[in-house]
């Protein structure tokens, strides 16, 4: 019995190569979509507690807000994540309002160190804290 070989012309070879490349690209695309990416920040209950504070600015909500910011810092450290922008600044401002100026400056310096783009604003808050004594 004779074996028949199928000979392909250049167009058919090019078409097969395109299909193979397309299939390979599709597989790579799907594998990239399935990979979960580590989050950049840990926000915890940031939004909920901030909304509650703005809705009802009582002492209880202010305490929850402060606790939420402190928890974000703690959990970010535990998960080896960067503290989200503004968290140190907000915590510093809470201490500034409570006349704990040294602690306020400490948090403003941390914000400035972590986010250099906030340097001008943090320097102004540091001046304000130092002026209050």
pTM: 0.71
CB atoms within 10 A of CB 108: 27
CB atoms within 10 A of CB 54: 10
What integer pLDDT is reported at residue 33 of this predicted model?
63
The answer to whether residues 106 and 128 touch, using CB atoms and an 8 Å cutoff, is no
By CB atoms closer than 10 A (0-12, 13-18, 19+), residue 21 is exposed
Per cent of the chain over pLDDT 70 is 89
Give CB contacts under 8 A, 24+ apart, made by 95-98: 96/125, 96/128, 96/129, 96/132
| Mean pLDDT estimate for the chain | 86
What integer pLDDT is reported at residue 125 of this predicted model?
95
What integer pLDDT is reported at residue 102 of this predicted model?
95
């Amino acid at each position: 019995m004779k074996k028949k070989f199928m000979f392909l012309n250049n167009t058919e070879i090019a078409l097969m190569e395109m299909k193979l490349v397309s299939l390979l690209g599709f597989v790579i695309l799907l594998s990239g979509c399935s990979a979960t990416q580590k989050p950049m920040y840990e926000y915890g209950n940031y939004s909920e507690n901030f909304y509650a504070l703005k809705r009802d600015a009582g002492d209880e909500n202010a305490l929850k807000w402060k606790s939420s910011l402190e928890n974000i810092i703690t959990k970010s450290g535990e998960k080896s994540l960067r503290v989200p922008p503004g968290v140190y600044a907000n915590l510093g401002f809470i201490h500034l309002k409570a006349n704990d100026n040294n602690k306020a400056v400490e948090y403003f310096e941390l914000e400035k160190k972590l986010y250099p783009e906030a340097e001008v604003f943090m320097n102004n808050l540091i001046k304000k804290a130092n002026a209050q004594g």
